[in-house]
Structure 1
Amino acid sequence: MMIPQQPHITGELVPTARYRIQNVRWPLSYLELPDPNDGSEVISALDQNKKTQFWNVLDLGHGKHSIMNQGSAKYANSGPRGKDGSPIVGSSNVQELKITECSVKGTYTIGPTDGTLFWGLPDERVGAQLQLDAIPTERNLWLFIRVD
């Protein structure tokens, strides 16, 4: 059993850097894009400290970010008309995202810039598909763990 990592970022906007993104509700779940093809699902995975689990977060200014998978060079994207339940997939097209720190320092929500939907996992299964949720809960909270 792996010990959950501690967030490297607290009390601030997430700066441009490379991170592993860990779920708060299920701390053994990290985001991964194992398939480099456009439209491939972002899924939960056990921490293996590999490029498909590394995410380049770019601060675009004005509270907006982009998130690109290092292993595939694909952006995390829910599409132009994402709705509750829409999958997050790897895409050649960048999507601007809003990363917001929550009341618990070091925990963040991630979602489209309109702020009405949030990245979340449906359950703790390895391979569970990342999706948009309309109601934020612990399964929609994330830690950004810097990869040096």
Structure 2
Amino acid sequence: MPNTVSSGTYVLTNVRYNNIVNLPDSSDGTPVSASIKSGKDLDKAGYFFDQGNGRYIIQNKGQKTYASVGNRQPVGATVVGRPGSQQYVIEETREQYKYTIATTDTGHYWGLPDSETGSAVELRASPTDKGNWWILTSA
């Protein structure tokens, strides 16, 4: 039986690139981006709110904004911080404790295009690409 994610505070680490998710400021539209691990991981952490049926809202702890891409966005769209929330589906991959985060409307997955610090999290097509897999570490 797959592991489910409970509501709580997590640091998101990309499986392929080992970068964490960061939202550098609270401005509307600031891209969610790759960062290196540091002593400030809790500031980069996100609150995950279980909405039921595998749907979640993700809010940045430090900036108090929500991860959003908007409705019906194509592959390549950037995940940004917004004042309003958006729901996502979080499911465990075939490897235990590694998850995908997908939009509820198009089913595209959060992913990183490369290992560079500052690269934006974007929507990607493949649920099997480890660049689109995440480890959620309780913070």
Where on the TM-score scale, by shorter chain, does this alignment land: which range? over 0.9
User: Using the alignment, how far apart are the partners of 1:133 and 1:21 within structure 2?
Assistant: 17
Aligned partners of 1:98 and 1:115 also within 8 Å: no
Q: Which stretch shifts more, 59-68 or 42-51?
A: 42-51
Q: TM-score, normalised by structure 1?
A: 0.88
Shift, 1:11, TM fit? 4.0
1:139 alignment partner, SS class:
helix
- What is the Cα-based RMSD across aligned positions, in Å? 1.4
User: Using the alignment, how far apart are the partners of 1:44 and 1:146 within structure 2?
Assistant: 18
- Identify which of 95, 100, 110 aligns with 1:104: 95
Aligned partners of 1:31 and 1:42 also within 8 Å: yes
In structure 2, stretches of 5+ residues that fail to align are none
Aligned partners of 1:12 and 1:101 also within 8 Å: yes
In structure 1, stretches of 5+ residues that fail to align are 1-9
User: Using the alignment, how far apart are the partners of 2:43 and 2:106 within structure 1?
Assistant: 27
Q: TM-score, normalised by structure 2?
A: 0.93
Shift, 1:44, TM fit? 0.2
Give the number of equivalent residue pairs: 137
User: Using the alignment, how far apart are the partners of 2:8 and 2:39 within structure 1?
Assistant: 16
Q: Deviations over 1:25-57 (max 9, x none)?
A: 012x00000011110000000012424411000
Percent identity for Structure 1 against Structure 2: 32
Moved over 6 A (4+): none
